[in-house]
Amino acid sequence: MTQFRFAALAALALSASLPAQAADVEARASYVMTLGGINIASMDVGLTDDGTRYDLDLSANVAGLGAVVASGTAKATSTGSSTGNILRSRAFALHTRANGDAFDVDVTFAGSDVGSFKVDPPILDNYDRVPIERRDLTGVNDFLAAFVLKGGALDKSLCDRKAGIFTGVERFNIAMRFAGTDQATSARTGYQGPVVLCSVDYNPVSGHFTTSDITNYLADSDRIVVWYAPLGTTGYFIPYRVLLGTNMGDLSMVLTGMRF
C-alpha cells in the first residue's frame, strides 16, 4: 500500500496541459523526486497523441527511504480518447513492486464512469476504510488522464480545473487554482523560461483509510503546487516543478530533461 501511495502521489504530481488543436505529438520527460531533500526516485513519462487517441506511460525507479518509502519500481499506463476538450481514459493499469511484493491495478472506463476494476492483492476493508459506493464510480477519470489538461496558452486559464479521480483503490476530487507566475532559471533543470503556478486542493471521497496520516495531511494541506512549463513548441505544457507538503517532509519533483 505504501508503494501504491507513492505511485499515486507521483501521478498527482505529474499534471500536464495541452491545447485542443494538438495532434501527432510524441514526447518524453524525465524527473527526479526528493523527499525531505533526499533523492528517492527517478521518473520517466511518455505522451503520444495522434489527435484521436492518446497514450501515457509512467515508469519510476524508487531508491527508497528507510521505512518511509520502500525501494522498488512503479509503472502506470493510460490510454483513451483525445478528441474532446479533455483526455478521456478507456483503460488504466498500475504495477508496483517493492520488497519482492507485487501490486496491480486495472481499471476500464465507459465515458466518465468506471466500467470495471480489479486490484491484486485486494485491499482489505478494515473498519477505518471508507466504503466505495456506486455513486463514487461516476463522473471520474484515471489519475494520469485527469492531470493531462487541455489549454490554449501558458496563462492562468491552465489552473482553472476540477476533476473526480478513481485510482482503482480510492475516489478523490481535486480542484486547481491559479497561484501566480514565475521564471525558471536553474541551468541544472530541463527548462529555463516562464512558468505558471497552480495550487491543488485534494478532497478524499472513498476507498481511503480514515486513520491514514498521508491522506489526512494532504486533505488539510495548502502546499500542493505545480509549476507548468511549455513542452517546446508542441503546444503542450508539463510540470517543471511539483511540491507537495507531507507529514514526512516536502515531496518535490523537478524536470531534468524533455524530448519531443
Work out the pLDDT band at 61, boundaries 50, 70, 90: very high
pLDDT band at 217 (very low <50, low <70, confident <90, very high): confident
Cα 175 from chain centre? 13
Cα separation, 195 vs 198, whole angstroms = 10
What pLDDT score does 24 carry?
81
Q: What is the mean pLDDT of the chain?
A: 86
Instruction: State the pLDDT at residue 105.
Output: 98
Weakest-pLDDT range from 55-64, 95-104, 145-154, 218-227:
145-154
Phi, psi (degrees; rounded to nearest 5) at 47: -140, 130
Q: What is the pLDDT of residue 219?
A: 92
Cβ-based neighbour number of residue 83 at 10 Å: 12
- Output the pLDDT for position 8: 54
- State the average pLDDT over residues 128-146: 94
More confident residue, 112 or 13: 112
pLDDT in tens, 71-117: 899 999 999 998 877 889 999 999 999 888 999 999 999 999 999 99
- Classify residue 156 by burial, with Cβ atoms within 10 Å: 0-12, 13-18, 19+: middle
Kindly give the residue spans of alpha helices, DSSP state H, lying in 98-183. none
Average pLDDT of the segment spanning 116-120: 97
Q: Report the distance separating Cα 143 and Cα 148, nearest Å.
A: 9
pLDDT at residue 194, as a whole number:
95
Share of the chain above pLDDT 90, in %: 55
238 pLDDT higher than 70: yes
